Structure 1
Amino acid sequence: MGLMDRLRGELIDIIEWTDDSRDTLAWRFPRHQNEIKSGAKLIVREGQAAVFVDKGRLADVFEPGTYTLDTANLPILSTLEGWKYGFESPFKAEVYFIRTTRVVDQKWGTKNPIMLRDPEFGPTRLRAFGTYGFKVSDPATFLDTLVGTSGDVDTGAITDQIRNLIVARFTDVLGSAKLAALDLAANVDELGGFVAEKMADDMAEYGIEVVNLLVENVSLPPAVEKLLDERTGMGVIGDLGAYTQFQTAQAISKAAENPGGGAAAAGVGLGAGLAMANQMGGAMMGGAAPQQAAPAPSAPPPPPDAVSFHVSKSGQSTGPFGLDALRQQAASGDLTRETFVWSERLGEWKAAGEVDALRGVFGATPPPPPDA
């Protein structure tokens, strides 16, 4: 420091911060060897706080106002220095001005997707971004934890830490809330409040309070969003059959407007469209209701009743006999064409030779031989 700066420091008795920078959070008042005169004026403007540091130890903190520095308003510094009867001019102390107004319109967002288990989509990834603001709520703690011996501290020294903490607490809130991804848009205000509340204790360790934390958007991966759009489109279409008819009518109309070469192509496209519609309709029906099992094959019809007859022998009814038994009787001569037989189908006694069902029992009768 030059001679003029040294003389100016000895003559100046006003301590204030007039810098209007919006990015500076802490600023150390420059004085030659940190000497402050007795009776010096301290001016702390609105949105500021002044913190005195004595040999690396935090001393007195001043809220907005104008002060004449003496032992009455420097009780901690007086105790540290052991001033029982007032201090001698000049005394040495560092003076830091801390900005206490809100720093707004800060951005936050997820650098990498957040993995979670969605109740509807299963394991999925989400991205989110938004804005937030913050302010220094405890100047002494802020000075002790973040400023240290630095002369100036701007917003860039703390915003990265705040953004990382927001993402970490946002992930915790999503995991514990177990909300479906499609329901997040309706709860972004509550999510922002929960995240700010969850990180309040973490930020208090730095003397900072996060305010107006907003979740502006929560998005799914592009591939999932595309499938979701298709699903939404199917819901908008509604009746697939009516939509197919509408598309078919449009195709026919376009084909009529292009008679030179569109008829065959329109026919092919129409057939393909109808086939696709049928497949989609079948798939939708299959997804909407369980597939019905194929009906069991019907039992074969019962075999026809076996043919049997009662045979009259010596005025007595015998049997019933099946066709095989009747063939044996015919072969042995016990059954002739004149023998009377009866069955339920006949309803009466008839000669065996007159029953069509028994013609095969006796064999074919050869025709008369030709005349010699």
Structure 2
Amino acid sequence: MGLFNRNNHKLGFMDVIRCDEPSYLIWKWHPAGSQLGRNSRENAIRWGSSLRVKEGEVAVFVYPQCDGTMQECIEGPCDILIDTENFPILANMLGLAYGGGTPFQAEIYFINLARIIQVKFGVPFFDIYDPRFVDFGVPVAVRGTISFQIKDYREFIKLNRLNAFDLNDFQKQIRDVVCRYVKDTVANAPAANNIPVIQIETKTAQINDAVEYDISERLKDSFGVLVSGVDIGAIEIDKTSEGYRKLMAVTRDAAAIRVEAETQDYVERLRIQREEGQYAMHKQAQTANIGAFQVEKQAEVGVSGAQALGQMGTTGAGDINLSSSGEGFNMAAVMASMAVGGAVGQNIAGTMNNMIGGINQQATPGTVPPPIPVAAYHVAVNGQATGPFDMTSLAQMSANGQLTGDSLVWKNGMAQWEKAKAVDDLKGLFSPMPPIPKE
């Protein structure tokens, strides 16, 4: 019967179940002296064996039952003896007739929750297209590193077969998924993020963020691992390719056209600004010399009137015919002549008066009096200054009740706001009205 003999527990053949591997992600324990796949002791566990699980790892017991397999997880730190008190579920598997020394069959896996796995990946050259120039495919390659670890070990066990787990195969699966997502993200980056293909090497950080989000969700759902970081080391463009050379050529042409258009637009804006500045200076000069400008315009009107009179004479519009067959006076022509003559006369008279007035003004400076100053007061309404108002407006406001003797007023030269009834200029607005005489 070998190890399954009921007296084997007396042989002191107990095991210490622990993982002493310096670096691992998933590691399967087997009793000392057994050879994997060679004998029945590979998964034979004895009651009374000790179980030691370090912090940052978990031991998973997988044992068969008639309706499938059962799992029990022991998180570290833990140092216990395997018996029915610590493993109540396992007690159902065994009868105690053998005194607790009979081995039971179970596979024990240690999962390292603290280790961070780094997998290097590389996407060989593939064509990407600029949405503005879809005729030119540019070869691009990507390389980088992804880091991940097992955080939710129950989800990980559910998604992966521990008995068939191989770290190299697992890393290859992770690498394939990462390469596929990186390729899709880089290929869509020019259209999705408005990135010119020839500048994609400078947008590594922006693309890295998009890749990390997509990959984190994908690996969590499909493999039960937590991505701690994605680092795209480089995005390389094959600058010797025909697609790159053609894209550079058409891009230079487009840039030259854009620069030329921007230059023409800039020159046009300068022209408009210059013309507007000249027009403003012209108007300013006209304003400064308004008298001369008026004389010029009135002279133009006079010349136009004289020309109109001459035209009337050449067409016979003002002729007088008193013969028996004549029409006599052409009253419409006479009236038109009088109107034009009056306008011309007024124009010339106005011009002469302006010229004489200008001469007199230049000859006797200071004879034209300045404008009469008008007293204007500000009135405080609801804490806000309103106005200024002249005396006529203030009188109307007083009559309407909008201004009272207690209203605060102020004008230029006053040190502070004062009541209207205390200001000498305004006292008369609040004098009592004389009584209405009785009949």
TM-score using structure 1 length: 0.50
User: For residues 279-294 of structure 1, what are the structure 2 equivalents within 5 Å?
Assistant: 288-289=259-260
What 5-or-longer segments of structure 1 have no aligned partner?
Answer: 236-281, 293-372
1:160 to 163, 167, 172: 172
Q: Which residue of 2 aligns with 1:49?
A: 58
Q: Contact 1:169–1:199 at 8 Å: present in 2 too?
A: yes
Query: Which of 110, 127, 132 is the matching residue for 2:141?
Result: 127
State the AA in 2 paired with 1:34.
Answer: N
Q: 1:221 to 1:78 in 2, by over 3 A?
A: farther
Q: How does 1:260-299 map to 2 (within 5 A)?
A: 288-289=259-260
Taking only aligned residues, the RMSD between alpha carbons, in angstroms, comes to 4.2
- Which fold has the larger relative contact order, with Cα–Cα distance below 8 Å and residues 6 or more apart in sequence? 1
- For 2:260 and 2:11, the matched residues in 1 are separated by 88
Cα displacement string for residues 222-277 of structure 1 (whole angstroms, at most 9, x for unaligned residues): 2269759988xxx9xxxxxxxxxxxxxxxxxxxxxxxxxxxxxxxxxxxxxxxxxx
Contact 2:133/2:247 (<8 A) preserved: no
Query: Which of 167, 176, 188 is 2:204 aligned to?
Result: 188
Q: Is the 8 A contact 1:51 1:58 kept in 2?
A: no
1:228 and 1:19 map into 2 onto residues whose CA distance is 56
Cα distance in structure 1, aligned partners of 2:130 and 2:106: 58
1:333 corresponding residue in structure 2: none
Structure 2 partner of 1:319 = none
Secondary structure, aligned partner of 2:240: helix
Which AA in structure 2 matches 1:74? F
Distance 1:191 1:45, change over 3 A: farther
Q: Which structure 2 residues correspond to residues 1-372 of structure 1 after superposition, within 5 A?
A: 11-20=13-22, 22=23, 24-31=24-31, 32=41, 34-55=43-64, 57-68=69-80, 69-74=82-87, 76-78=89-91, 81=93, 88-90=100-102, 91-113=104-126, 115-119=127-131, 122=134, 123-143=137-157, 145-150=159-164, 153-174=165-186, 175=188, 177-180=192-195, 181-182=197-198, 184-204=200-220, 205-223=222-240, 227=245, 288-289=259-260
TM-score by length of 2: 0.44
2:129 maps to a residue whose letter is: R
Partners of 1:284 and 1:194 lie apart in 2 by 29
- The 3 A distance-change label for structure 1 pair 8 and 103 is farther
Q: Could you give the per-residue CA deviations for residues 60-96 of structure 1, whole angstroms, max 9, x where no partner exists? A: 11222123233444355457x3899xx9443332111
Deviation at 1:18, TM superposition (A): 0.4
Q: Is the 8 A contact 1:60 1:77 kept in 2?
A: no
Residues 51 and 97 in structure 1, CA contact (< 8 A), matched pair in contact too: yes
Query: How many corresponding residue pairs?
Result: 232
Q: In the superposition, relative to structure 1, how do residues 286 and 18 fare at CA in structure 2: closer, same or farther (>3 Å)?
A: closer
Report deviation, 1:49: 1.7
Kept in 2, the 8 Å contact 1:107–1:130? The answer is yes
* CA offsets 1:268-287 (integer angstroms, 9 cap, x no match): xxxxxxxxxxxxxx999778
Equivalent pair of 1:188/1:214 in contact (CA under 8 Å): no
Contact 1:196 1:211 in 2 (8 A): no
- 1:126 and 1:8 map into 2 onto residues whose CA distance is 69
Tell me the CA shift for residue 57 of structure 1. Answer: 2.0
Deviation at 1:154, TM superposition (A): 4.6
CA distance in 1, matches of 2:16, 2:254: 83
**Counterparts of 2:83 and 2:163 in 1: how far apart (Å)?**
25
Distance 2:181 2:155 in 1: 22
Shift in CA distance, 104/54, structure 1 to aligned 2, threshold 3 Å: closer
Give the distance between the partners of 1:27 and 1:284, measured in 2 at CA: 60
Distance 1:9 1:211 in 2: 48
Query: Which structure shows the higher helix fraction?
Result: 2
